[in-house]
């Protein structure tokens, strides 16, 4: 008898996962909803939020949170740094070597704080924002 129906496969959830995984990008719930609602007319914003929550709980997606901004969802699960563009708000993967021991190192140095993770985000301007800035008359 199956009494745990929480993790039954849901076509909507798989569509959400597939969309995030295929984009190799970082998407907000609103972006995912806007992209999928045409093909999935019964999809609601609440369904998107609920399924994203489950996908994160299942360890299939990572939710990234920056300050007071909305969560962005990442299908890339290995520890990696990010680049955040302050021009357009784009979040890109930074392909620099990960520093898997940084949290251990920090944990030894921070009194009475148990470190269980970290995120590394570089801020700056992406290529197209720099181009736009260079082209704009001053
Ligand atoms: Zn930009
Ligand atoms: Zn990423």
Q: Which of the four pLDDT bands, split at 50, 70 and 90, describes residue 78? A: confident
| Three-class secondary structure of residue 29 per DSSP | helix
User: Which residues on adjacent β-strands are paired with residue 72?
Assistant: 64
Report the alpha-carbon distance of residue 17 to residue 1 in Å, rounded. Answer: 28
- Arithmetic mean of pLDDT over the chain: 86
What are the tens digits of pLDDT across the range 102-125? Answer: 877 777 777 777 777 778 889 999
Q: Which residue has the higher pLDDT, 57 or 6?
A: 57
Residues 81-101, mean pLDDT to the nearest whole number: 85
CA of 130 to the centre of ligand 1 (A): 7
* pLDDT at 7 (0 to 100): 60
* pLDDT at 25 (0 to 100): 77
Half-sphere exposure of 70 (CA within 13 A, CB side): 11
Q: Which ligand is nearest to the CA of 88?
A: 1
CA of 2 to the centre of ligand 2 (A): 35
Name residues with Cβ closer than 5 Å to ligand 2, which is an ion.
74, 76, 93
Residues 71-88, mean pLDDT to the nearest whole number: 90
Residue 1 pLDDT greater than 50, yes or no: no
CA of 119 to the centre of ligand 1 (A): 20
Q: Which ligand is nearest to the CA of 87?
A: 1
CA of 134 to the centre of ligand 1 (A): 13
* pLDDT at 17 (0 to 100): 96
Q: Which of 33, 137, 23 is nearest to 91 (CA)?
A: 23
pLDDT more than 70, % of the chain:
91
Half-sphere exposure of 122 (CA within 13 A, CB side): 12
CA of 75 to the centre of ligand 2 (A): 7
Length of the chain: 138
Residues 32-60, mean pLDDT to the nearest whole number: 95
């Amino acid at each position: 008898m199956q009494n745990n129906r929480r993790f039954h496969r849901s076509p909507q959830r798989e569509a959400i996962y597939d969309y995030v995984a295929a984009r190799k990008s970082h998407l907000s719930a609103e972006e995912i909803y806007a992209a999928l609602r045409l093909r999935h007319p019964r999809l609601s914003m609440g369904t998107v939020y609920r399924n994203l929550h489950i996908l994160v709980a299942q360890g299939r997606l990572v939710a990234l949170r920056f300050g007071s901004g909305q969560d962005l969802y990442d299908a890339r699960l290995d520890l990696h740094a990010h680049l955040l563009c302050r021009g357009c708000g784009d979040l890109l993967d930074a392909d620099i070597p990960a520093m898997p021991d940084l949290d251990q190192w920090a944990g030894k140095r921070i009194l009475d704080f148990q470190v269980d993770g970290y995120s590394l985000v570089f801020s700056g301007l992406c290529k197209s924002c720099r181009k736009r800035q260079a082209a704009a008359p001053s």
